[in-house]
A = this chain, B = another copy of it.
Amino acid sequence: MATLSQIARLAGVSVSVASRVLNGDPKLRTRQDTRDRVLKAAKDLNYTANYAGRALRLARSKALALIIPAVSSPLFADLLSGATDAAEAQEYTLLIGRSDRITAGSDTLRRLVGEGRVDGFVLQRSDDLSDQALENLVANDARIVLVTSRTPGRRGSVILDDVAGARLATQHLVSLGHTRIGLIGGVPSSDIARRREQGYALALHEANLRRRDAWVRRLGYSPEMGALAMESLMATDPRPTGVVVANVNGAIGALTALRRLGIDVPGEMSVVAYHDEWVAEHTWPPLTTVKMPYYQVGVQAVQSLLSQLSGSPPQDIVVRDPPPLLVQRMSTAPPPARR
């Protein structure tokens, strides 16, 4: 590739002038024809500023990392899109990494920033990464924004309005007439799971319904865990007539379990899932879900990170716009007539 000095030589100017013209330095005084010569030379040689040279000089890479637990879940598509769009808008490059590789001993995060490969990162930690473990993994001064979860301390975060989302899902079942409503939630150590459970409890409370521990499972968000949880929930007596599953992938597993058990959905059991993704349209029955503004989380996370990079203190943001949206499909219906 062409370098700045080649441009300068071709244009018959010094490197500094070339650099300033190309960067539009307002403090540069130059004749129009000099400027034109530089621009033409850059165009002719198809100039692109070398990334390493610039990064070295500026001590900034203009790159961010987005670390998410399961790149393969369609769920993250929105988050990814949002983050990409926001990064692109500021001419930042986005590196995507998997947080399932970020285990306690790993130095990936530290290195990414330590080497100056990225200026900061957006991290969605896996559920089993504790606050303490997290702090051990990153440098104290690392610029980082957590998404969907929080950590005590001075890190920034962007989370969903989990309480409102889970509440909406629960309210949907309530409004269909369900009175025995279960919850398949995340692992208890996760603040996300706690907020969703809170929303569930809130909706029950508002409807004067009894919240029974026997109807709550806290295993995690994978299809396998969803299936397991649903099976054990079906073994309770009386069993719930409707279940809120705090993650769509878990809900997909839950549907599979119900099918194995020969329980009709939504005839005998209604299922509503937290989060929406394309697969939810193609399950049987198609899943009723609560769509959360995941795209906006991606956007906000990157924006918040960038503002941290330019000196602002870390912020804790809750994305409430657009609000949680009930996507009604076919997995929910009024409860069966009392037996």
Name A's B-contacting residues (CB within 8 A).
1, 46, 48-53, 55-56, 61, 63, 70-74, 76-77, 80, 84, 93, 95-96, 98, 101, 110-111, 114-117, 223, 252-253, 255-256, 259, 277-279, 281-284, 286
The answer to whether B48 and A52 have CB atoms under 8 Å apart is no
The distance in angstroms between the C-alpha atoms of A84 and B1, with both chains bound, is 28
The answer to whether A51 and B115 have CB atoms under 8 Å apart is yes
Which of B73, B76, B93, B282 makes the CB contact (< 8 A) with A117? B93
A55's nearest neighbour on chain B, judged by CB, is B52
The distance in angstroms between the C-alpha atoms of A117 and B116, with both chains bound, is 13
Given the interface pairs A252-B279, A283-B284, the reply to whether A96 lies near B95 with Cβ below 8 Å is yes
Q: Other than the known A52-B61, A72-B74, A256-B281, what 12 A-B pairs have Cβ atoms closer than 8 Å? A: A1-B114, A1-B116, A46-B114, A48-B111, A51-B117, A52-B52, A52-B55, A63-B117, A71-B71, A223-B282, A253-B282, A256-B282
The answer to whether B252 and A282 have CB atoms under 8 Å apart is yes
A317 to B: closest C-beta gap in Å: 24
The distance in angstroms between the C-alpha atoms of A113 and B46, with both chains bound, is 13
The distance in angstroms between the C-alpha atoms of A65 and B61, with both chains bound, is 16
The distance in angstroms between the C-alpha atoms of A73 and B70, with both chains bound, is 11
